[in-house]
Chain A
Amino acid sequence: MASDKRAGRDRVVTLSPDRVTGLTASLALVLAPHAARIPLWMAILAAAAMILRTWLAWRGQRLPRTWMLAVLTLFAALGTWMSYGVIFGRDAAVALLILMLCLKLMEMRDTRDAMVLVFLAYFTVITNFLYSQSIPMGAYLLGCVWTITANLLATQRAGRPRVTGLLRESAVLLAQAAPLMLVLFLLFPRVQGPLWALPQAGAGGLSGLSDAMSPGSLSSLSLSDAVAFRVELGANPPKADTLYWRGPVLWDFDGRTWRAPGNDLVGQAELEIGGTPIRQTITLEAHDMRWLFALDVPGGAPTSSYLTLDLQLRAARPVRERMRYEVTSFPSYRLARYEVPGLLERALHLPPSFNPRSRQLAESWREEGLAPEQLVQRALAMFREQPFVYTLTPPVAAGHAVDDFLFVTRRGFCEHYAAAFAFLMRAAGVPTRIVTGYQGGTLNPVGKYLVVRQSDAHAWAEVWVEGRGWIRVDPTAAVSPLRIERGAAAALPGVGAVPLLGRVDNDWIKDLRFAMDMVANGWNQWVLDYSPERQMNMMSRFAGGHVSWRGISTALVAATGIIVAILALIALRRTRSAPADPAWLLWQAFSLKLAKHGVARALNEGPQAFAIRASAALPGHANAIRAIAALYARLRYEAHSGPEDLANLERAIRSLRLD
């Protein structure tokens, strides 16, 4: 008895080393993308567990005892807590799942455990999508599902099935599932918002503009190839040097950093617009901030967003998922000719005791009695005429950043020029603010849309002139006109720091890059952002009229049924590839006839056994039934039978009247 109990607690390992290895390898593939995201000690522990389990399998050693596993489990939970501070939430939960999965390997003994692990592996595949939903990741995880399914098949096979055979069968299964997957994707009622947007999956790792600008903040951004947004412009896109994508407006300077106001400047901007309106459809990548971008200046706000007094487009909530909106901008405008006096004062404020030399210079200009426009020209002329250099890698500024830049280094990126210009203007008594955003963009000739990347980040200034309102002044254009006309890459030839993709001149690489971006854009638009509205629109277009949810559901059921039926027919045809024996067909007809009278032939019943049972059940027809069974047995199983037997069988079955 005692030994029985022991055996129950510590079951024998019956899984073959092949299966253990296959399953562990598959699991390693699934967990590989996580390896860089979890702490190093966890990655090492997980890898060690997998190697150890495989080694134990091949050596035929016993698995660790239950109490050891319990202690390890406790340590894993504790370690997760120490590393993350919590044991729930996306990152910590995924890390804990990985650890538990690897510990589960240690008690994988029989087919049942293997099944559990297979399904956990499927689940873990999904956790990868919490971090990345790109096409390569999708393809990789599809490969993972392929190998896991092969493992699942292996649990259903006796002996040592060949790996290639399992993989082939698994591929066939996935291929058969593909049409169903497509139908379910297209027709299954969608939930609002992307499936993967967890509350925690926000800010981390997203790059983009912030609401503050200090020397170096934009130039670090311009190293990034990441897409900020994509724009579909109408038939006549504006010229590149007018493409100023307006973002956060910075008012407050503390001597080093320019900041946007803590609270939105709420109010209706006083705006006179003119020129040809430019309609834009913008697909904005998630950046976890509330502003949206539009060409300078937007004439109105898209739904669920608003325009502030300084013409920033603000969304109601931080943009945590890719969003698509339409906005119309106007190239010529007059903004706030009668600006609120308080704001003008704010646009003049400078912290005292910073940058004395610059202040002195500005004051000397003011003493000359120049008008605001002349002051602007004076400053731009200084940038143009003195040896200022536009560079991505300016020297690090010391305490008086503007002084340092204007009089010592004279090397800077757009934020240096914009900040120095704004400082000079304020010191000279001209209300000035800094506008950040993007400038330019790359036209994708394949997809006919504009891609704006983080490397297009830009900063410029706006000065307020009485009677004309806020006017855009871009000091960078004075230093490096190329930057504005042709983008940062053209303005900075041969500089190693510009992102790889920004530098290429090779045509086919450029084409390839455009094609890749178009595929990525299509994936975003049609797969990841396949929203309920989009689904409804597409179905309506397909059906040529309005469709209801009930209609979509019916279509879903019908399409699923049709696909399953087609697959079943193909499978059936394959098993029946040999032409059916006419005697067998007659026998089926006979069986059907009897089944209608309550004597159904079991599938494993031979002719004689069935004849005996049927004639007992229908004694009035015993002779006929026996004769038919004997004829069939002769036709189908004996060496010599002629066509007259077949005719006899047919006649006998036809003349059998059971009623």
Chain B
Amino acid sequence: MNPDIQSVLAAIDGIVLGKPREVRLTLACVLARGHLLIEDVPGVGKTTLAHAFARVLGLAFHRIQFTSDLLPADIIGVSVYDREQGRFDFHPGPVFSQVVLADEVNRATPKAQSALLEAMEEQQVTVDGQTRALPAPFFVIATQNPSNQVGTYPLPESQLDRFLMRIHLGYPDAKAERALLGGETRRSLIEATTPVLDTARLLTLQTAARAVHAAPALLDYVQALLTHSRQSPAFGSGLSPRAGLSLLAAARAWALIEGRNAVLPEDIQAVLPGVAGHRLTPPDGAVSGGDTLVRRLVDDVAVP
């Protein structure tokens, strides 16, 4: 395994207790240059996860709390007239950062949501006709309350597609919970942690993830999964070509984390719940969760 990855994981596992799988999925998301959506109830450590990643990877971190009165300008920034200089000065918003935590993204209005989502998609923002690039590793972790809670604007399916993965954190197990209760506060732990990587080394890792080999046999498997999701009556709308690309990118990053230079079907299966869970919809009239659908997809398609 790559020593950089090993030490990153060790550092984060020390802060985010008992969630090794979620931590690795998050790292895969970073390495695949995607963005992450965490869907869970408040207080399970979403902020801690985001903060720890920013710290350990040596990246600048900003947090935006989404509320119902949040405006696009609150995210991307605003031009203010400078009376002394006689010109407009752009005050960059919190989105100009390397790791952005968009907390409770479904509490804001669709207008504010789309400001963030456009920045994610384009890697740049345009204010007053001027386009400004966002910093190079740019990683958004959005959190979302389960949408049956009151006063939320659930992200539409087309917007969900912009997130490479969606994961759930869930409650810690008993051992992790005891360690959490007995230990220091997470905030002080994060502050005490020194960065393991810097921007340049992270970019190198991202490039390495892209170079992981995907053999024709593996592409066959990915195609079989996509075709099945489109043709089987068990699914409403199938996986898009973009979903296929995302699946492959995430699987490459996962293989890199696992210390391999080629993608195995197991890598695809490992990232599939995160990548496909929010993209698969049940057929007309049926009600079943994304995770059930993903399990069904994995079960139904043979590894060629």
Is A48 on the interface with B (CB-CB < 8 A)?
Answer: no
B108 CB within 8 Å of chain A: no
Binds B, one of A153-161, A260-268, A283-291: A153-161
Contact (Cβ within 8 A) B218 A156: no
A581 near B: Cβ within 8 Å? yes
Count, chain B residues at interface, CB 8 A: 28
> Cβ of B289 < 8 Å from any Cβ of A?
no
Q: Does B215 have its Cβ within 8 Å of any Cβ on chain A? A: yes
CB <8 Å contact, B264 and A607: yes
Question: Does chain A have a CB within 8 A of B34?
Answer: no
- Nearest-neighbour CB distance to chain A for B77, whole angstroms, equals 41
Contact with A639, one of B235, B261, B302 (Cβ below 8 angstroms): B261
In the bound assembly, the distance between CA atoms of A225 and B82 in angstroms comes to 102
Q: Are A159 and B231 in contact (CB under 8 A)?
A: no
Residues 179 to 228 of chain B near chain A (Cβ within 8 Å)? 213, 215, 217-218
Q: List B285-304 residues whose CB lies under 8 Å from chain A.
A: 285, 298-304
Once the chains are docked, how many angstroms separate the CA of A604 from the CA of B301?
A: 6
The complex places the Cα of A314 from the Cα of B218 at a distance, in Å, of 79
Q: Does A637 contact B218, Cβ atoms closer than 8 Å?
A: yes
Residue from A14, A155, A604, A634 in contact with B303 in the complex, judged by beta carbons closer than 8 Å: A604
Judged by a CB distance under 8 angstroms, whether B237 is at the interface is: yes
Given the interface pairs A158-B238, A637-B218, the reply to whether A606 lies near B284 with Cβ below 8 Å is no
- On whether the beta carbons of A606 and B269 are closer than 8 Å, the reply is yes
Q: Does A648 contact B (CB under 8 A)?
A: no
Given A158-B238, A633-B264, A638-B213: A603 in contact with B285 (beta carbons within 8 A): no
**A12 neighbours in B (Cβ, 8 Å):** 285
- Given A158-B283, A606-B303, A637:B263 Cβ within 8 A: yes
Contact A111 B284, beta carbon cutoff 8 Å: yes
Contact A604 B298 (CB under 8 A): yes
Question: Complex Cα distance A250/B285, Å?
Answer: 72
- B24 CB → nearest A CB, Å: 16
A contact residues around B266 at 8 Å (CB): 606-609
Per a CB cutoff under 8 Å, which of B231, B262, B303 touches A603?
Answer: B303
Please give the distance in Å from B255's CB to the nearest CB on chain A.
Answer: 9
Question: Shortest beta-carbon distance, A149 to chain B, in Å?
Answer: 16
Cβ–Cβ < 8 Å partners of B233 in chain A: 155-158
Q: Say yes or no: is B230 at the interface (Cβ < 8 Å to chain A).
A: yes
State the main secondary structure of chain A at its contact with B: loop
Chain B residues within 8 Å of A633, by CB: 262, 264
How many chain A residues touch B (CB < 8 A): the figure is 26
Closest chain A CB from B228 CB (angstroms): 11
Query: Do A581 and B217 have beta carbons less than 8 Å apart?
Result: yes
Q: Which residues of A contact B304 (CB under 8 A)?
A: 584
Say whether A636 faces chain B, with CB atoms less than 8 Å apart: yes
Beyond A603-B303, A633-B264, A637-B262, whether A158 also contacts B230 by CB under 8 A is yes
Contact A158 B231 (CB under 8 A): yes
The residues of B that contact A155 with a CB separation of less than 8 Å are 233
B18: interface (CB < 8 Å): no
Q: How far is the CA of A206 from the CA of B299 in the complex (A)?
A: 61
The reply on A321 being an interface residue by CB < 8 A is no
Segment 222-246 of A: residues with Cβ below 8 Å from B: none
Residues of B within 8 A of A581 (CB): 217
Complex interface: chain B residues within 8 A of A606 (CB): 264-266, 269, 303
Contacting A at CB under 8 A, from B220-271, are: 230-231, 233, 235-238, 261-266, 269
A158: which B residues are within 8 A, CB to CB? 230-231, 233, 235-238, 283
Interface residues of A in 1-52 (CB under 8 A from B): 11-12, 14-15
CB of A157 within 8 A of CB of B285, answer no
Residues of B near A609 (CB, < 8 A) are 266, 269
Residue pair B261, A638 in contact (C-beta under 8 Å): yes
Give the most central of A12, A15, A156, A158: most B CB within 10 Å: A158
Give the nearest-CB partner of A13 in chain B.
B284
- Name which residue of chain A comes closest to B214, CB basis: A637
Contact pick for B231, options A14, A157, A604, CB 8 Å: A157
Q: Which of B261, B269, B284 has the most CB of A within 10 A?
A: B284
Nearest CB of B to A23, in Å: 15
A270: CB under 8 A from chain B? no
**Contacting residues, chain B, for A607 (C-beta < 8 A):** 264-266
Number of CB contacts from chain A to chain B under 8 A:
71
Task: List residues 599-634 of chain A with CB under 8 A from any CB of chain B.
Answer: 603-609, 633-634
Q: How far is the CA of A584 from the CA of B265 in the complex (A)?
A: 14
Q: Does A110 contact B (CB under 8 A)?
A: yes
Q: What residues of chain B lie closer than 8 Å to A639, measured between beta carbons?
A: 213, 215, 261-262
How far apart sit A68 and B303, CA to CA, in the bound complex (Å)?
Answer: 53
- Residue in A15, A603, A638 whose CB lies within 8 Å of B302: A603
Task: Say yes or no: B264 contacts A637, CB within 8 Å.
Answer: yes
Residue pair A605, B303 in contact (C-beta under 8 Å): yes
Shortest beta-carbon distance from A602 to chain B in Å: 8
Q: Give Cα distance in the complex from A609 to B269, angstroms.
A: 10
A35 to B284, CA, bound (A): 35
Docked CA distance A482–B97 (Å): 109
B261, B264, B265, B285: which contacts A110 (Cβ < 8 A)? B285
Complexed CA–CA distance, A157 and B299 (Å): 20
Q: Which residues of B contact A157 (CB under 8 A)?
A: 231, 233
A110 contacts B284, CB within 8 Å? yes
Taking CB as reference atom, which chain B residue is nearest A583? B217
* Most B Cβ at <10 Å: residue of A603, A637, A638, A639: A637
- CB contacts (< 8 Å) of B299 on chain A: these are 604
For B263, the chain A residues whose CB sits under 8 A away are 637
Chain A 96-139 near chain B by CB (<8 Å), digits 1 or 0: 00000000000000110000000000000000000000000000
Question: Considering the chains assembled together, what is the distance between the CA atoms of A385 and B139 in angstroms?
Answer: 117
CB within 8 A of A638: which of B215, B230, B235?
B215
Bound together, the chains give a CA A608 to CA B283 distance in angstroms of 33
In the complex the two chains form, is A111's CB within 8 Å of B285's CB?
yes
Q: Which residues of B contact A604 (CB under 8 A)?
A: 269, 298-303
**Smallest CB-CB separation from B301: which chain A residue?**
A604
Residues of A within 8 A of B302 (CB): 603-604
Measured CA separation A633–B217 after assembly (Å): 10
B235 proximity list for chain A (CB < 8 A)? 158
- With both beta carbons as reference points, the residue of chain B lying nearest to A612 in the complex is identified as B266
Q: Tell me how far the C-beta of A19 lies from the nearest C-beta in chain B, rounded to whole angstroms.
A: 10
Minimum CB–CB distance from A629 to chain B (whole Å) comes to 10
Per the bound structure, the CA–CA distance linking A636 and B233 in Å amounts to: 31
Whether A637 pairs with B285 at a CB distance below 8 angstroms is no
Best-surrounded residue of A12, A156, A606 (most CB of chain B within 10 A): A606
Tell me the smallest distance from the CB of A226 to a CB of chain B, in Å. Answer: 50
Contacts of B285 in A (CB 8 A): 11-12, 14, 110-111
CA distance A159 to B261 in the complex (A): 38
A571 CB to closest chain B CB (Å) equals 15
B284 touches A14 (CB 8 A): yes
Kindly list chain B residues whose C-beta atoms are within 8 Å of the C-beta of A111: 283-285
Docked pose: A637 CA to B260 CA in angstroms: 11
CA distance A114 to B300 in the complex (A): 26
Q: How far is the CA of A177 from the CA of B238 in the complex (A)?
A: 30
Determine how close the nearest CB of chain B comes to the CB of A407; give it in whole angstroms. Answer: 83
**B303 near A638: Cβ-Cβ < 8 Å:** no
In the assembled complex, the Cα of A604 lies from the Cα of B266 at a distance in Å of 9
Complex CA–CA separation, A581 to B217 (angstroms): 9
B218 close to A159 (CB less than 8 A): no
For B215, what are the chain A residues with a Cβ–Cβ distance below 8 Å? 636-639
Chain B residues with CB under 8 Å of A110's CB are 284-285
A205 to B300, CA, bound (A): 57
Residue in A closest to B234 when the chains form the complex, CB atoms: A158
Chosen A-B contacts, 5 in total, with CB atoms closer than 8 Å, are A14-B285, A159-B230, A159-B237, A607-B264, A639-B215
Task: List 3 A-B pairs, minimum CB-CB distance, nearest first.
Answer: A606-B265, A603-B302, A14-B284
Binding site for A on B (CB under 8 A): 213, 215, 217-218, 230-231, 233, 235-238, 261-266, 269, 283-285, 298-304
Beyond A158-B283, A606-B265, A606-B303, 16 extra complex contacts between A and B, CB < 8 Å: A11-B285, A15-B284, A110-B285, A155-B233, A159-B238, A603-B303, A604-B299, A606-B264, A606-B266, A607-B264, A607-B265, A636-B217, A637-B215, A637-B218, A637-B262, A637-B264
